[in-house]
Amino acid sequence: MRPMNGERVTEAVAGCVAALRPAVDRDWSTVPAAGLDWDCRATATHVADDLVSYAANLAGGARDAYVPFELTLDPGTDNAGLLHVIETTGALLAATVTTAPPGARAYHPYPFGSADREGMAAMGVAEVLLHTYDITRGLGLPYEPADDLADTVLNWLFPHVQPGPDAWPTLLWATGRGELPGRPPVTAWRWRNNLALPAERLTLTGVRPAAARDLRLGGDGGFDWLGSGPYEGTREAAGFLVKAYEAGLHRPEFGIFALVRAEDGRAVGGIGFHGPPDAYGRVEIGYDLVPEARGHGYATEAARALTAWALARDDVRTVIATVEPENIPSQRVLTRAGFRPATPEEEREARERHGMAEDLRLYVNEEQS
């Protein structure tokens, strides 16, 4: 797994400056940036403002709104000076991301109200790549970033976008800047940071496609795991997430989550959905813990938090879980988390309509009134 970190920010900024430097003697304020309402100079200033804003939000721990300031260039700043500002603000974001503690999050509105340090880095890289493209198209300059840098942005910010044969054209298509054969034009778009759900002692941290791919292949997914690492259920679920992502069917909020302990930042297990809600508003959850974390109520806490989040949505009416009859500890987890054993009729319907295996028992948690 190629990480999203301060080095990626530095790489993106270096590519931006190298692409734009040949045109520093031109008047950027008279040339429209391609596809935007801004001119090239305003777009470059916007890039610098975004870089320092993400750094400030992360460093300042912004919670409910952006840190209230805006970057303004000194009068008389020429294009060479503006590129220096981009380099400087990029360095500030890179340093902030590098020194932020694991699990640090700060305000960003899309779509869940916050972003972690990797998300802040990814947003900075995305701003640099995409707006450098807009500026160079306006100025008639060549520009194409490394495909693996674009791929990292897609994995971190566009988990809802099916990968294409090449990452850079896919990123351009996903942001309304290009075409892909067989796909309709994109006219509106948002990137998506991962969802993090706080619980009493845990944070349920959404797993991105790149991390899921690493978990499937035996890695740690970028998490510091307690004991011997993620249990087999988490790795298996990561594999299903990757398949859904590659098929263009992944809905990030209905993916999988690492259970990260607040006291030390260590991952103690995984929990997640088997897929998005069906036509009946039904979702199924599953979970596991590393052996060293069992017996402390973490699974109950996680199941309760994830279920409450799901049932608060308009598209979910029922949360279910299936369990082997002999797995008494898991049945106790579900009971403590507010689930009830299904009635014989509900189990019959689950087997006939939804294909539940005969050797499993069904537990149900229903819409709160």
Q: CATH number for the domain including 235?
A: 3.40.630.30
CA atoms within 13 A on the CB side of 10: 10
In this structure, are 202 and 167 located in the same domain?
no
* CB-CB neighbours of 352 under 10 Å: 9
- Tell me, yes or no, whether 190 lies in a domain: no
If one counts the domains in the chain, the total is: 2
In this structure, are 25 and 155 located in the same domain?
yes
Residue 113 is predicted with a pLDDT of 94
Q: For the segment 348-369, what is each residue's pLDDT rounded down to a tens digit?
A: 999 998 899 999 999 999 976 4
**DSSP structure class, residue 136:** H
The CATH number covering residue 126 comes to 1.20.120.450
Residue 354 is predicted with a pLDDT of 87
In this structure, are 130 and 241 located in the same domain?
no
In this structure, are 217 and 261 located in the same domain?
yes
Whole-structure pTM value: 0.95
- Tell me, yes or no, whether 28 lies in a domain: yes
In this structure, are 230 and 290 located in the same domain?
yes
Is residue 194 within 8 Å of 252, Cβ to Cβ?
Answer: yes
Q: For the segment 244-280, what is each residue's pLDDT rounded down to a tens digit?
A: 999 999 999 999 999 999 999 999 999 999 999 999 9
Q: For the segment 173-212, what is each residue's pLDDT rounded down to a tens digit?
A: 999 999 999 999 999 999 999 999 999 999 999 999 999 9
User: How confident is residue 81, by pLDDT bands cut at 50, 70 and 90?
Assistant: very high
Range of the domain at 290: 196-366
Alpha helices in the chain (DSSP H): 6-20, 40-60, 79-99, 117-139, 147-157, 167-174, 209-216, 232-246, 298-311, 328-336, 344-354
pLDDT of residue 224 exceeding 90: yes
- Tell me, yes or no, whether 184 lies in a domain: no
User: How confident is residue 110, by pLDDT bands cut at 50, 70 and 90?
Assistant: confident
In this structure, are 126 and 205 located in the same domain?
no
In this structure, are 128 and 230 located in the same domain?
no
Mean pLDDT of 291-316: 97
Residue 2 is predicted with a pLDDT of 84
- Tell me, yes or no, whether 160 lies in a domain: yes
d(CA 142, CA 140): 7
In this structure, are 349 and 214 located in the same domain?
yes
Residue 333 is predicted with a pLDDT of 97
- Tell me, yes or no, whether 185 lies in a domain: no
